Amino acid sequence: MATDAAGLGRRRAAVFVAPALLLVAGFLVLPALWTIYLGATDYQLTGLAAADPQFTGLDNARRALDEDEFTHSLGLTLQFVVGSAVLGQALLGFTIAWLLRDRTGPLRRLVEALVLLAWILPSSVVAFLWIALLDRDGGTLNTLLGSGNTAWLVEHPMASIIVFNIWRGTAFSMMLYAAALGTVPPSQLETARLAGASAWQQLRDVVLPLIRGHVLTNLLLISLWTFNDFTPFLLTGGGPGDATETLPVFIYNTALFGGELGYGAALSVLMLLINLVIALVYTRLLRAREKAAS
Amino acid sequence: MTPGQAVRTVLRYASLSLLLAFFALPLLWLAFAPFDRAPQIAVSLPEFTLDNFRDLLDNENALRSLRNSLLLAAGTGAVVVTLSALAAYALSRVRLPGRDALLYALLLLSSIVTGTAAMVPLFNLAYELDLIDSQLGVILVLSGGLLPSAIFILKDFTDATPRSYEESARVFGASPLQIMRHIVVPVIRPGLATIGVWAVAQVWGNFLIPFLLLRSPDKSPAAVVMYTFYTEGGQPDLALISTFSLLYSLPVVLMFLLVSSRYGFRFHGGIKR
């Protein structure tokens, strides 16, 4: 309960909160609202429309939905999110947590350390490590597989950034599922085992129902993070052509590189809406689960 | 051991080895290349030397970018820790109208309005405020994005601390600011440390915001400068890149080890029940 032990008083409390709120209002809320406004104009970085942008209403949004570029980019982003986050990071993270669940000692620490290292290194560094790994002339992967001069980032660009992102982000899911598995009472697993349940049946009938809340929270967070991830830009720059131009990269290339600020802002608004939909869907599922539980 | 159990044990170790190989493979280059006399793009056992580090310490360009990273990270860390501590304490102890709704709305907003979705107006805003090519601009933008989560986490810490210390200090005539400085801050220090480390790590690796807002190379942080090492055409300088990468990665790894040894880096019982 809020009891004002230090005798702060409402006025002084407001003074304490004000600086943080001002920064958040200025650099988070205002840009969000500004995006919505700009998205309804023909604002450009240079030229006539830079000096005097005109209000064009929903024209930008209509243009985005009509042009193949946007739907192409959205499709790539969905592949990226489903492939690398929902299927990749979540499944791999759970598998690691499950394999290591009742194990201590150096093997567990080594696996955890390597997975975590991939997660905490700066993105510019890991991007270069992967460029070196996948390089056409003498990259480590080609040397190992004996696959000659395969230019992985050119010939299999989407697969490359999906595998890259699985490698990069699995740590979070691993830690979350390790904690979740710790909340499963051993007695319930023991009972299932005595009743003759196989490992797979224990997993399906005992463990998964108990940790469904964790699974949903995990999927929500990694979906949002992956959806907004700019790191593929460091590997491929969106290329070759537009083969890996996920939405964040597409917006960067359109707005800042191509100078079409108004159109770029409209794309950002569409992206915000999709973010909101993802968040709402998962919150719904979570709430439905809580209701079913009570 | 039954044959079934034996097969399962073998499978388990095989999958663990595969996992180890997958996660270790890209990292090997970072471990070997900096110490190699003539680093190649492929991983090879190094012909050991420390010359690359000597060269790096003579490279003013590279060192300046690390100093810039340090400035941005320390600046943002200081702003985020100070402002979020003040706000979290006030929100924890005084019931301001609409507090919980406000906190949740901001948290949702900060996770949704990421730098990528608000790129264009952030650029415009910085332009209007004359903060293009200003490190202060980068610090303010990053702080605005990190503050909601920081306040949220710190409020949990302050909610959990007993109020009796503050009450007795007040009886002896301490002012609210004195109470804050001498009683509240020491009590919630682990929380402040967590927020500080988290903010510094976020800024240290951030590429997009400085890439967007800074123009001159001598103000850019390591994340951006490193990117130019290998995109400016021609042959990338592998000795420089590998050595720089290692030096640039070291602080976050050390910070991470410090935090995990002092506070434990696990989710106890999970984020959400």
For residue B224, pLDDT over 70 is answered with yes
pLDDT score for A281: 86
Alpha carbons B23 and A119: distance in angstroms, whole number: 10
In a domain, residue A46? The reply is no
Preferred mutation among B12, B70, B94 to probe A, highest tally of A CBs within 10 A: B94
Please tell me which residue, B211 or B152, carries the higher pLDDT value: B211
Closest CA to A268 of A250, A280, A281, A282: A250
In a domain, residue B28? The reply is no
B15, B115, B141 ranked by CB distance to A99: nearest: B15
Mean pLDDT of B120-129: 86
pLDDT score for A39: 84
Residue of A nearest to B81 (CA): A20
| Residue B170 to residue A135, Cβ atoms within 8 A | no
Ranking A197-201, B108-112, B119-123 by mean pLDDT, the lowest is B108-112
For residue B265, pLDDT over 60 is answered with no
Count of all residues that appear for chain B in the document: 273
- B167 confidence band (pLDDT: 50, 70, 90): confident
For residue B270, pLDDT over 50 is answered with no
Burial B8-45 (b: 16+ CB within 10 A, else e): eeeeeeeebeebeebbebbbbbbebbbbbeebbbbbbe
pLDDT score for A86: 94
For residue B269, pLDDT over 70 is answered with no
pLDDT score for B1: 66
Residues lower than pLDDT 50 in chain A: 1-2
Closest CA to A175 of A143, A217, A145, A141: A217
Residue of A nearest to B114 (CA): A228
A-B contacts at Cβ under 8 angstroms: 289
In a domain, residue B162? The reply is yes
Q: The domain spanning residue B142 has which CATH number?
A: 1.10.3720.10
Preferred mutation among A1, A11, A12, A17 to probe B, highest tally of B CBs within 10 A: A17
In a domain, residue A21? The reply is no
For residue B264, pLDDT over 70 is answered with no
Alpha carbons A279 and B113: distance in angstroms, whole number: 12
B91, B93, B245 ranked by CB distance to A5: nearest: B93
For residue B191, pLDDT over 50 is answered with yes
Number of domains in chain B: 1
For residue B268, pLDDT over 80 is answered with no
In a domain, residue B176? The reply is yes
Q: Quick check: B18 contacting A, CB < 8 Å?
A: no
Q: The domain spanning residue A111 has which CATH number?
A: 1.10.3720.10
In a domain, residue A31? The reply is no
pLDDT score for B114: 64
Preferred mutation among A28, A147, A166, A216 to probe B, highest tally of B CBs within 10 A: A28
Number of domains in chain A: 1
Alpha carbons B47 and B28: distance in angstroms, whole number: 15
pLDDT tens figures, B11-66:
888 989 999 999 999 999 888 888 888 777 777 777 788 888 888 888 888 889 99
Domain that holds residue A224: 71-293
pLDDT score for A19: 92
pLDDT score for B271: 39
A12, A27, A129 ranked by CB distance to B30: nearest: A129
A27, A128, A247 ranked by CB distance to B140: nearest: A27
Task: Look over chain B and give the mean of its residue pLDDT values, rounded to a whole number.
Answer: 83
Closest CA to A253 of A265, A264, A241, A240: A264
In a domain, residue A79? The reply is yes
pLDDT tens figures, B240-259:
888 899 999 999 888 888 87
In a domain, residue B200? The reply is yes
Domain that holds residue B216: 61-262
| Residue A20 to residue B223, Cβ atoms within 8 A | no
Alpha carbons B240 and A46: distance in angstroms, whole number: 37
In a domain, residue A30? The reply is no
